[in-house]
A and B are shown apart, each in its own frame.
Chain A
Amino acid sequence: MAARDVKPGDSLDPLLVRQDFPLLRDAPLAQGLHYLDNAATTHKPQVVIDAISDCYGGFYGPIHRGLYPLAEEASGRYELARERLATFLGAASADELVFTRSATEAINMVAWGWARERLQPGDRIWVSRMEHHANYLPWQRICRDRGAELRIIELHENGSLDLAGSPELFAPQTRLIALCQVSNVLGVENPLRELCATARAHDIPVMVDAAQGVSHLPLDVCELGCDFLACSAHKMYGPGGIGLLYGRAERLQEMAPLLLGGGMVDEVGEGTAESTWTQTPARFEAGSPNLAGAVAFAAAADYLEGLDRHRVQAHLTMLTTAAAGALAEVPGLRLLPLAETPRSAILSFTLDAVHPHDLAQVAGEQGVAIRAGHHCAQPLMRSLGLVATARASFGVYNRMDDVAALVRAVDSARRLFS
Chain B
Amino acid sequence: MTDHSLYKETLLRHYRHPHNKCEGELQGADVVRRGDNPRCGDEVEVGVYLHDGHLAQVKFRGRGCSVCIASASMMTEAAQGRSAKEARQLCADMKAWFQKGDGAELTEPPEDLQALSAVREYPARRRCVLLSWEALDDALGSV
Residue A358 is within 8 A (CB to CB) of chain B in the complex = yes
Contact with A along B117-143 (1 / 0, CB 8 A): 000001001001000000000000000
Contact of A416 with B7 at beta-carbon distance under 8 Å, contacts A357-B125, A357-B128, A387-B41 already known: yes
Residue B83 is within 8 A (CB to CB) of chain A in the complex = no
Indicate if the CB atoms of B12 and A416 lie closer than 8 Å: yes
Contact of A388 with B66 at beta-carbon distance under 8 Å, contacts A361-B6, A365-B1, A416-B12 already known: no
Residue B56 is within 8 A (CB to CB) of chain A in the complex = no
Interface of chain A, helix or strand or loop or mixed?
helix
Residue A218 is within 8 A (CB to CB) of chain B in the complex = no
Complex-state Cα separation, A372 to B40, whole angstroms: 8
Contact of A365 with B2 at beta-carbon distance under 8 Å, contacts A357-B40, A358-B65, A374-B39 already known: yes
Q: Which residue, B2, B4, B66, has most C-beta atoms of chain A within 10 A?
A: B66
- 15 A-B interface contacts by CB (under 8 A): A355-B40, A357-B125, A358-B65, A358-B66, A361-B6, A365-B4, A372-B40, A373-B40, A374-B41, A386-B41, A387-B38, A416-B1, A416-B7, A416-B12, A417-B12
Contact with B along A344-381 (1 / 0, CB 8 A): 00000000000111100110010000001110001000
Residue B98 is within 8 A (CB to CB) of chain A in the complex = no
Across-interface contacts of B60 in A (CB, < 8 A): none
Complex-state Cα separation, A355 to B15, whole angstroms: 11
Interface size class of A (residues with CB under 8 A): 10 to 19
B2's closest neighbor in chain A, by CB? A365
Across-interface contacts of B41 in A (CB, < 8 A): 374, 386-388
Residue B5 is within 8 A (CB to CB) of chain A in the complex = yes
B124's closest neighbor in chain A, by CB? A357
Residue B64 is within 8 A (CB to CB) of chain A in the complex = yes
Indicate if the CB atoms of A387 and B66 lie closer than 8 Å: no
Contact of A417 with B15 at beta-carbon distance under 8 Å, contacts A361-B6, A362-B7 already known: yes
Complex-state Cα separation, A417 to B11, whole angstroms: 11
Indicate if the CB atoms of A373 and B15 lie closer than 8 Å: no
Across-interface contacts of A365 in B (CB, < 8 A): 1-2, 4-6
Seen from chain A, the residues whose Cβ lies within 8 Å of a Cβ on chain B are: 355-358, 361-362, 365, 372-374, 378, 386-388, 416-417
Shortest B5–chain A CB gap in Å is 6
Indicate if the CB atoms of A355 and B65 lie closer than 8 Å: yes
Complex-state Cα separation, A387 to B128, whole angstroms: 14
Indicate if the CB atoms of B66 and A373 lie closer than 8 Å: no
Complex-state Cα separation, A356 to B1, whole angstroms: 18
Indicate if the CB atoms of A361 and B39 lie closer than 8 Å: no
Complex-state Cα separation, A373 to B37, whole angstroms: 11
Indicate if the CB atoms of A355 and B39 lie closer than 8 Å: no
Indicate if the CB atoms of B122 and A361 lie closer than 8 Å: yes
Across-interface contacts of B65 in A (CB, < 8 A): 355, 357-358
- Beta-carbon contacts under 8 Å, B50-84 to A: 64-67
A378's closest neighbor in chain B, by CB? B38
The 4 A-B pairs of least Cβ separation, nearest first, read A387-B41, A355-B65, A357-B65, A358-B66
Across-interface contacts of A356 in B (CB, < 8 A): 40
In addition to A372-B40, A417-B12, 8 A-B residue pairs with Cβ atoms within 8 Å of each other are A358-B67, A361-B7, A365-B4, A373-B39, A373-B40, A374-B39, A388-B40, A416-B7
Complex-state Cα separation, A357 to B124, whole angstroms: 10
Complex-state Cα separation, A373 to B122, whole angstroms: 16
Complex-state Cα separation, A25 to B125, whole angstroms: 30
Complex-state Cα separation, A417 to B67, whole angstroms: 12
Complex-state Cα separation, A380 to B65, whole angstroms: 21
Complex-state Cα separation, A29 to B122, whole angstroms: 16
B6's closest neighbor in chain A, by CB? A361
Across-interface contacts of B40 in A (CB, < 8 A): 355-357, 372-373, 387-388
- Beta-carbon contacts under 8 Å, B1-36 to A: 1-2, 4-7, 12, 15-16
B68's closest neighbor in chain A, by CB? A355
Shortest A181–chain B CB gap in Å is 26
Complex-state Cα separation, A374 to B15, whole angstroms: 23
A412's closest neighbor in chain B, by CB? B1
Shortest A136–chain B CB gap in Å is 16
Shortest A52–chain B CB gap in Å is 29
Across-interface contacts of A357 in B (CB, < 8 A): 40, 65, 67, 125, 128
Across-interface contacts of A374 in B (CB, < 8 A): 39, 41
Across-interface contacts of B16 in A (CB, < 8 A): 417
Shortest A374–chain B CB gap in Å is 7
Across-interface contacts of B39 in A (CB, < 8 A): 373-374
Across-interface contacts of A388 in B (CB, < 8 A): 40-41
Q: Which residue, A362, A365, A387, has most C-beta atoms of chain B within 10 A?
A: A387
Across-interface contacts of A362 in B (CB, < 8 A): 7
